[in-house]
A and B are shown apart, each in its own frame.
Chain A
Amino acid sequence: MIDRDILVSPLGEVLILLSALCSLTPVANADSSMRGADSFSATKVNSLVTTKADWAVIDKKNNMPILGTYNLENIFSTPDLMVVDSSGHKRSLRQFTTGKYTLLTFFYSHCSDANGCPLAMAVMHKIKSSIEQQAGMRDKVRLVSISFDPEHDIPQMMGGLEHQMHHHGDHESETDYVPWNFLTTSSIKELLPLLREFGQDVDIKLDPTSGQKTLTYLHLVKLFLIDEKGFVREIYTTMNLEPQVILNDIDTLELERKS
Chain B
Amino acid sequence: MVFKHKYSKIKKAISLVAISMAVGIPAYVSNTYADETSCSPFTPIVKGQEDFVYVWTLGMKGLGDESDKLVTVDTNPKSKTYGKVIATVSVGGRGEAHHMGFTDDRRYLWAGALDSNRIYVFDVATNPAKPKLVRTITNLVEKTGYVGPHTFYAIPGRMVITGLSNAQDHGGKTALIVYNNKGEYVSTHPMPTDNGGDGYGYDVAINPAKSVMLTTAFTGWNNYMMDLGKLINDKEAMKQFGNSTVMWDYKSMKPLKVFDTPGAALEARWSWNKGDNWAVTTTALTSNIYVYKQDEKGEWQQHMVGTIGDPSKIPLPVDISLDSDGKGLWINTFMDGTARFWDFHDPMHPKEAYTKKIGSQVNMVSQSYDGKRVYFTTSLLSNWDKKGQDNEQYLKMYNWDGKELKLGFEIDFIKEKLGRAHHMKFQSKNLKEAVPLEAMAEQNLNLAQK
Which residues of chain A have a CB within 8 Å of any CB of chain B?
1-4, 6-8, 10-11, 13-15, 17-19, 21-31, 33-40, 42, 44-49, 51-56, 58, 60, 63-65, 69-71, 73-76, 109, 114-115, 117-119, 121-123, 125-126, 148, 154, 156-157, 160-161, 164-165, 168, 188-189, 191-192, 195-196, 199, 201-206, 208, 211, 213, 217-218, 220, 222, 224, 232, 235-243, 245
Q: Are A31 and B95 in contact (CB under 8 A)?
A: yes
Q: A168–B22 Cα gap in the complex (Å)? A: 8
| Most chain A CB neighbours (cut-off 10 Å) among B145, B221, B243, B258 | B145
Chain B residues with Cβ under 8 A from A206's Cβ? 432-435
Q: Are A37 and B167 in contact (CB under 8 A)?
A: yes
Chain A residues with Cβ under 8 A from B411's Cβ? none
Q: Are A56 and B434 in contact (CB under 8 A)?
A: no
Chain B proximity of A150: nearest CB distance (Å): 11
Q: Are A204 and B440 in contact (CB under 8 A)?
A: yes
Chain A residues with Cβ under 8 A from B447's Cβ? none
Q: A80–B115 Cα gap in the complex (Å)? A: 38
Q: Are B147 and A65 in contact (CB under 8 A)?
A: no
Q: Given A10-B262, A36-B147, A64-B211, are A148 and B232 neighbors across the interface (CB < 8 Å)?
A: no
Q: Given A31-B94, A126-B27, are A45 and B167 neighbors across the interface (CB < 8 Å)?
A: yes
Chain B proximity of A212: nearest CB distance (Å): 11
Q: Are B228 and A237 in contact (CB under 8 A)?
A: no
Q: Given A26-B227, A69-B252, are A60 and B298 neighbors across the interface (CB < 8 Å)?
A: yes
Q: Are A17 and B181 in contact (CB under 8 A)?
A: no
Q: Are B229 and A19 in contact (CB under 8 A)?
A: yes
Chain A residues with Cβ under 8 A from B196's Cβ? 1-2
Chain A residues with Cβ under 8 A from B438's Cβ? 192, 195-196
Q: Is B405's CB within 8 Å of the partner chain A?
A: no
Q: Are B249 and A56 in contact (CB under 8 A)?
A: yes
Q: A49–B167 Cα gap in the complex (Å)? A: 8
Q: Pick the contact of A119 from B25, B210, B251 — CB < 8 Å? A: B25
Q: Are A36 and B387 in contact (CB under 8 A)?
A: no
Chain B residues with Cβ under 8 A from A109's Cβ? 13-14, 17
Q: Are A204 and B435 in contact (CB under 8 A)?
A: yes
Chain A residues with Cβ under 8 A from B156's Cβ? 222, 235-237, 239-240
Q: Is B309's CB within 8 Å of the partner chain A?
A: no
Q: A241: nearest residue on chain B (CB-CB)?
A: B29
Q: Mark B335-370, 1 if CB is under 8 A from A, else 0.
A: 100000000000000000000000000000000000
Q: A117–B28 Cα gap in the complex (Å)? A: 13
Q: Is B446's CB within 8 Å of the partner chain A?
A: no
**7 other contacts beyond A7-B262, A53-B255, with CB at 8 A cut-off?**
A11-B285, A22-B232, A27-B227, A44-B142, A118-B25, A157-B14, A164-B22
How many chain B residues touch A (CB < 8 A): the figure is 124
| Most chain A CB neighbours (cut-off 10 Å) among B105, B166, B173, B186 | B105
Q: A190–B96 Cα gap in the complex (Å)? A: 41
Chain A residues with Cβ under 8 A from B432's Cβ? 206, 208, 211
Q: Pick the contact of B195 from A10, A55, A60, A165 — CB < 8 Å? A: A55
Q: Given A2-B198, A45-B166, A70-B254, are A114 and B229 neighbors across the interface (CB < 8 Å)?
A: no
Q: List 21 A-B contacts (CB under 8 A).
A: A2-B244, A10-B262, A13-B314, A21-B335, A26-B227, A30-B94, A30-B95, A45-B168, A49-B167, A49-B190, A51-B188, A55-B195, A58-B249, A63-B210, A123-B27, A157-B10, A191-B437, A192-B437, A204-B437, A205-B434, A220-B104
Q: Are A2 and B436 in contact (CB under 8 A)?
A: no
Q: Are A239 and B41 in contact (CB under 8 A)?
A: yes
Q: Given A13-B314, A55-B195, are A160 and B104 neighbors across the interface (CB < 8 Å)?
A: no
Chain B proximity of A117: nearest CB distance (Å): 8
At the interface with chain A, which of B48-56, B234-242, B273-281, B324-332? B234-242
Q: A149: nearest residue on chain B (CB-CB)?
A: B437
Q: Is B44's CB within 8 Å of the partner chain A?
A: yes
Q: Pick the contact of B441 from A14, A54, A165, A188 — CB < 8 Å? A: A188
Q: Are B434 and A63 in contact (CB under 8 A)?
A: no
A-B interface, 6 closest residue pairs, ranked by CB to CB distance from nearest:
A48-B145, A160-B14, A70-B252, A121-B21, A34-B116, A56-B249
Q: A118–B193 Cα gap in the complex (Å)? A: 45
Chain B residues with Cβ under 8 A from A164's Cβ? 14-15, 18, 22
Chain B residues with Cβ under 8 A from A74's Cβ? 186
Q: Are A46 and B168 in contact (CB under 8 A)?
A: yes
Q: A222–B103 Cα gap in the complex (Å)? A: 14
Chain A proximity of B103: nearest CB distance (Å): 8
Chain B proximity of A85: nearest CB distance (Å): 16
Q: Given A4-B239, A37-B141, are A148 and B437 neighbors across the interface (CB < 8 Å)?
A: yes
Q: Are A160 and B10 in contact (CB under 8 A)?
A: yes
Q: Pick the contact of B312 from A17, A29, A49, A148 — CB < 8 Å? A: A17
Q: Is B304's CB within 8 Å of the partner chain A?
A: no
